[in-house]
Amino acid sequence: MQSQWSEGDAERMVACYAQQGVGRDLSLRVYTSRLLGGEPKLVLHGGGNTSVKTIVRDPLDEEVKVLCVKGSGWDMGAIEPAGLPAVRLAALRKLRERGALADEEMVRVQRANLIDPGAPNPSVETLLHAFLPHKYVDHTHSTAVLGLTDHPDAAERCADLYGRRLGLVPYIMPGFRLAKKAAEVFESDPDVEGLVLLKHGIFTFGGTAREAYERMIAAVSLAEERIARRSTAVFVPVRLPAAVATPAEVAPILRGACAIADPRGSGAFKRFVLDFRSNHAILDYVNGTELRRYGQAGVATPDHTIRTKNYPLIVPAPEPGKLDGFKTAVRDAVDTFVAEYHAYFARHNARQEVPKRELDPMPGSSWCRASACSG
Ligand SMILES: [Zn+2]
């Protein structure tokens, strides 16, 4: 992965935002956030987050140290200064003294310390940014880094690749506990350039926007090179029917099986829009003999979960002339998928202090977007 940093572009952005009263620190934060957000190998739409520690004037015209951190609902690829709400840094850091802090209380304290009370909610990973001392902190869910860390022996793989360059943080759900743990890992070796969060993503940091950004690109590039060297495995193909039905024949069957009846009994249905994609990599994947094993391994990052759910629906190859059998198989597969989704939700919801709301149980993207650590 190449650094897209351009001194000219960065200075142009600083000059442009200066006309709107935006300071240099925040303008450069916007600039590299967009560079990161414009690369889908680093974050998908809405994923990841960035921050800068700077000084602003509060509504009483007094200077105050703040953390400007990505707000909920903003996409890094098109972020504006308003998408990085300023929160009083001292208040955030004071929270570290707490033994525990529920997500709801964390959000309440963060909102109470916004400089602009009308600003969006700061990211759920705000405290992780606040507890680190660096001026610029960048966070992505790099596919290559996750390819390295979504393994039982991820710690050894990371140590082998990064040495002491990056700290290693065990998997913890985003929130207060993760923020505290990440700060502890950093403080145990303050020379690190970033942190790898197992099964989650990567943070890099620096004294300047460019340093934090280019440390991200360098760390991701190392992971990409390592994966490229080892990617000799190929999927062993299954024996396919002589011909397969066309997307136009298959789509109505899939849409019908996944349609959701209006719970109010109006007789109306919510239906999915289908998008048919096919290329070499996709065909290799779906035609592998072990699809049912690796297809159920779960997605690489929460970014994917909120768009695709954790597992795909797997249906047999549709043979022309035998579509009635295919239809039955699809309906059975969807019934099983829905039952397993209800069970999955109930299992995890039982462990939550504050009950969560279940999304629609169908495969594919959800009607109602949840927020993972996209913040
Ligand atoms: Zn994250």
Number of H helices, E strands in the chain: 14, 9
What is the reported pLDDT for 369? 36
What is the reported pLDDT for 104? 87
- pLDDT confidence band for 353 (50 / 70 / 90): confident
Bridge-based pairing state of the strands 136-140 and 166-169: unpaired
Give the span between the Cα atoms of 345 and 298, in whole angstroms.
15
Average pLDDT on 5-18 reads 97
> What is the residue whose two structure tokens read 């060297």?
229
What is the reported pLDDT for 192? 97
- Distance from residue 146's CA to the centre of ligand 1 (Å): 11
Instruction: Please say if the pLDDT value at position 83 is more than 70.
Output: yes
- Distance from residue 140's CA to the centre of ligand 1 (Å): 6
Residue-wise pLDDT tens digits, 88-127: 999 999 999 999 898 889 999 999 999 999 999 999 899 9
- pLDDT confidence band for 367 (50 / 70 / 90): very low
What is the reported pLDDT for 103? 86
Q: How far apart are the first and last CA of the chain?
A: 25
Instruction: Please say if the pLDDT value at position 258 is more than 60.
Output: yes
Residue-wise pLDDT tens digits, 295-320: 988 887 777 777 788 889 999 999 99
- pLDDT confidence band for 232 (50 / 70 / 90): low
- pLDDT confidence band for 231 (50 / 70 / 90): low
What is the reported pLDDT for 265? 86
Which of 28-37, 278-287, 351-360 has the highest average model confidence (pLDDT)? Answer: 28-37
- Distance from residue 374's CA to the centre of ligand 1 (Å): 6
Q: Give φ, ψ of 202 to 5 degrees.
A: -140, 140
Burial call 282-309: b when 16+ CB within 10 Å, e when fewer: eeeebebeeeeeeeeeebbbbbbbbbeb
* In the chain, beta strands by DSSP E: 49-57, 63-69, 86-88, 136-140, 166-169, 194-197, 201-206, 260-261, 269-270
Tell me the two tokens of residue 337.
């998928």
- Distance from residue 144's CA to the centre of ligand 1 (Å): 15
- Distance from residue 41's CA to the centre of ligand 1 (Å): 14
Tell me the two tokens of residue 240.
């396919």
- Distance from residue 114's CA to the centre of ligand 1 (Å): 21
* CA 374 to each of CA 75, 202, 247, 358: distance values in angstroms, whole numbers, following the listed order: 9, 13, 33, 19
- Distance from residue 301's CA to the centre of ligand 1 (Å): 9
Residue-wise pLDDT tens digits, 140-174: 999 999 999 988 899 999 999 999 999 999 999 88
What is the reported pLDDT for 230? 67
Residue 101 amino acid letter: L
pTM (2 decimals)? 0.82
